[in-house]
Chain A
Amino acid sequence: MKMNGANALVQSLVDHGVEIIFGIPGGVMIPIYDALYDRKDIRNMLMRHEQGAAHAADGYARATGKVGVCFATSGPGATNLVTGLATAQMDSIPVLAVTGQCRTTAIGKDSFQEADITGITMPITKHNYLVKDAAQIPRIVAEALYIARTGRPGPVLIDVPMDMSLAEIEYEPVKDVKIRSYSPEREIDDSAIDAAAQLIADAERPVLYAGGGVIASGASDELLALSEKTHILVTTTLLGKGAIPETHPHSLGMLGMHGTAYANHAVHNCDLLIAVGARFDDRVTGKLAAFARKARVIHIDIDPAEIGKTVPADVAIIGDCKEILRRLVSKVQPRSETDWNKQIMKWRNEFPLVCPMDEERLLPQCVIAKIWEMTRGDVILVTDVGQHQMFTALHYKVTKPRRFLSSGGLGTMGYGLPAAIGAQVGCPNETVVAICGDGGFQMTVQELAPAVEHKLPIKICLMNNKYLGMVRQWQELFWNNRYSGVDISVQPDFVKLAEAYGAVGLRVTKMSEIEPAFGKALEVNDRPTIIDFVIHREENVFPMIPAGQSIEEMMVNRPK
């Protein structure tokens, strides 16, 4: 069938099952937006800033497991995607970005709204394309989606010059993708699985450490099966939350800088660390020389480059976590509970996660704990970045994979609201709760408009301390209380702001108001609700292991 490049692009997306695009048009995107105009099988959700579009695509991808797609125009539209793409790259999230570009004849001439977006995004995408032959558009779209979702997932960008959108081509759907230089499928080495099973049999103090790779590969059931068969307890990274139900007695919660004390003690003292789809990030390990130094390491990951990148592995198993765990479960000897399990239980009792009873002040961890009590993990929980994110990671027990969305690797403030939009669009029947700080929320607050426009009943819980709180916490603890550049007490009235956008605005100033307010928010089903939780300004996140240090320096409470 004859059609222009723009229609070929849209048709290719539809052929590959894409139903929704988060984007904003611009001059060179008009042909592509025109191609969307009459279609019923794919729609554009008009965002208000391209960063929001990229995060929405990311949130959609994390919540559904499908590739999230975003569109932006050339130049500033494309450069505004950068933060969102870098976020997706760091967390291995499948996102496809399509950007407009000036005509091929104008490229390299500093033309209006020209930016070398393939050059700019090279380090923050898994791969990218500049279309130079419109006939290749169906193949490029097929390849881009394939690359984004296979192997270790990641963002892919296609830059489409205006003349490529306008060129007439003969459209042939592309079904099979074969890229000779890219083969994500690999044979799993069964001898490595045997070696791992042997290490597990020999270990006295094993711990499972699960990351986002478990979620990406859908390996939660297998992880739980391994844990239950061996009675090995599981700690997860931030991105691994939900890999095992955190209500399960085998869950130790999150490890690392703001991990639970018992998870960190378990990892510090273990003699075997089984890393599954995790990459030994510095927020997990702290000081490398002191990290799990008594432990042998089994490292399971789909990306060979992660093996030995920071922590050497005694046994490395490369491939899809789900299949590897399935084989490992059948190979390992069952183990029963040991003194090691009891020891971890002892740490759990010694260093419990507590919410201080405080009727005077509204404490963020208590708000989160209350929200957990009222929802019991039965929501998609999205966070922004900062103190509230760590409070949530500690106090909200996630019970299923793809039900906790957070920017981990890049730590992108402003992620929360647009990612929640993507999640709500992808999962219209789920309750989506976005926990944000007042700082991050204001970085992408404009996305309230599309949330209202599309009647998305997102519950936005603002942990409002009028500070860039995590930086303030560091300044308090390590910089002698010199609160430089963190006071954001000049801010809008968020209740009025919500109302101005056509959302519901509520304010909570004391503990007793949490339940009625959040209960009310749960009843709103046709628009977003913002609850402005006016929290104690100087509450800190504990436990905390200061950056680059070891568990010996862990603070479980505010130092006297």
Chain B
Amino acid sequence: MRKPMQHTITVLVENKPGVLARVSGLFARRGFNIESLAVSITDDPTISRMTIVVTGDDSVLDQINKQTNKLIDVIKVIDYSEVPIVERELAMIKVAAEPARRAEIMQIVDIFQAKIIDISETTFTIEVTGSTEKVDAIERLLAPFGIREVVRTGKIAMARGATTAIDQVNSG
């Protein structure tokens, strides 16, 4: 198992200034590749949660977990490689929408259960939520119309079932 693969890890950290820099700095200097990174506060205001998608083989992932865990402000690193998870990413896509082609675009939006959240004389702005693959797919299908701008949140993830990340902190 030396093949580089994408992994999703969740990092629970102290909600303090500079913690993002500690984590991202560690990744940079140890040569870990971040595909995406999403950070926000949790239901516990003293804890922030980072969802990081990284690429690497098993030994790289092992080092990422251990080195990240060593940072003093990191409370817990949870590797979601081996557990069933739900994961979502949100994207906003501004796409050229000439009147003649609008119906076609709206059909794609419909199929992807996406939403048009803004409209101008020449563009639609589309909001889509789903797995990374789904967001990739709609982006690909919209490309021929002329994509003007895309912004993606990066993936967020949670384990399926009743256990929570905070539970894992408390259980050590």
Q: Which residues of A contact B (CB under 8 A)?
A: 118-119, 122-123, 126-127, 130, 147, 179-182, 303-305, 307-309
A118 to B18, CA, bound (A): 9
Within 8 Å CB of A182, what residues of B?
A: 72
Complex contact A181–B72 (CB within 8 A): yes
Within 8 Å CB of A126, what residues of B?
A: 72
1/0 per residue, CB under 8 A from A, across B5-16: the answer is 000000001100
Within 8 Å CB of B153, what residues of A?
A: none
Question: Given A181-B14, A309-B63, A122–B72 Cβ distance below 8 Å?
Answer: no
Complex contact B75–A180 (CB within 8 A): yes
Complex contact A308–B25 (CB within 8 A): no
Complex contact B25–A122 (CB within 8 A): yes
5 contacts between A and B (CB under 8 A): A119-B18, A122-B25, A181-B13, A181-B73, A308-B62
Question: Given A181-B14, A308-B59, A122–B74 Cβ distance below 8 Å?
Answer: no
Neighbour of B29 across the interface among A123, A130, A309, CB < 8 A: A123
Complex contact A181–B25 (CB within 8 A): no
Does B67 make an interface contact (CB < 8 A)?
yes
A525 to B63, CA, bound (A): 50
A304 to B18, CA, bound (A): 24
Within 8 Å CB of A119, what residues of B?
A: 18, 21
Complex contact B72–A123 (CB within 8 A): no
Complex contact A303–B70 (CB within 8 A): yes
Tell me the smallest distance from the CB of A249 to a CB of chain B, in Å: 38
Within 8 Å CB of B74, what residues of A?
A: 181
Which of A127, A180, A305 counts the most B-chain CB atoms under 10 A from its CB? A305
Tell me the smallest distance from the CB of B74 to a CB of chain A, in Å: 6
Closest partner residue, chain A, to B62 (CB atom): A308
Closest partner residue, chain B, to A118 (CB atom): B18
Given A118-B18, A123-B25, A308-B62, 10 more pairs with CB closer than 8 A: A119-B18, A122-B18, A122-B21, A126-B72, A127-B72, A179-B72, A182-B72, A305-B63, A305-B67, A305-B70
A516 to B99, CA, bound (A): 99
Within 8 Å CB of A130, what residues of B?
A: 18
Within 8 Å CB of B72, what residues of A?
A: 126-127, 147, 179, 181-182
Closest partner residue, chain A, to B14 (CB atom): A181
A181 to B47, CA, bound (A): 11
Does B22 make an interface contact (CB < 8 A)?
yes
Closest partner residue, chain A, to B13 (CB atom): A181
Within 8 Å CB of A181, what residues of B?
A: 13-14, 72-75
Within 8 Å CB of B70, what residues of A?
A: 303, 305
Does B66 make an interface contact (CB < 8 A)?
yes
Complex contact A122–B75 (CB within 8 A): no
Tell me the smallest distance from the CB of B47 to a CB of chain A, in Å: 10
A118 to B21, CA, bound (A): 11
> A-B pairs with the 3 shortest C-beta distances?
A305-B66, A127-B72, A181-B75
Tell me the smallest distance from the CB of A129 to a CB of chain B, in Å: 10
Within 8 Å CB of A303, what residues of B?
A: 70
Closest partner residue, chain A, to B58 (CB atom): A308
Within 8 Å CB of B63, what residues of A?
A: 305, 308-309
Within 8 Å CB of B73, what residues of A?
A: 127, 181
Tell me the smallest distance from the CB of A120 to a CB of chain B, in Å: 11
Closest partner residue, chain B, to A152 (CB atom): B70
A305 to B63, CA, bound (A): 6
1/0 per residue, CB under 8 A from A, across B35-62: the answer is 0000000000000000000000001001
Within 8 Å CB of A123, what residues of B?
A: 25-26, 29
Tell me the smallest distance from the CB of A348 to a CB of chain B, in Å: 36
Closest partner residue, chain B, to A312 (CB atom): B59
A123 to B70, CA, bound (A): 12
Complex contact A304–B66 (CB within 8 A): yes
A279 to B67, CA, bound (A): 14
Within 8 Å CB of B22, what residues of A?
A: 122
Within 8 Å CB of A118, what residues of B?
A: 18
Within 8 Å CB of B69, what residues of A?
A: 304-305
Closest partner residue, chain B, to A304 (CB atom): B66
A518 to B59, CA, bound (A): 52
Within 8 Å CB of A307, what residues of B?
A: 66
Tell me the smallest distance from the CB of A187 to a CB of chain B, in Å: 10
Within 8 Å CB of A308, what residues of B?
A: 59, 62-63
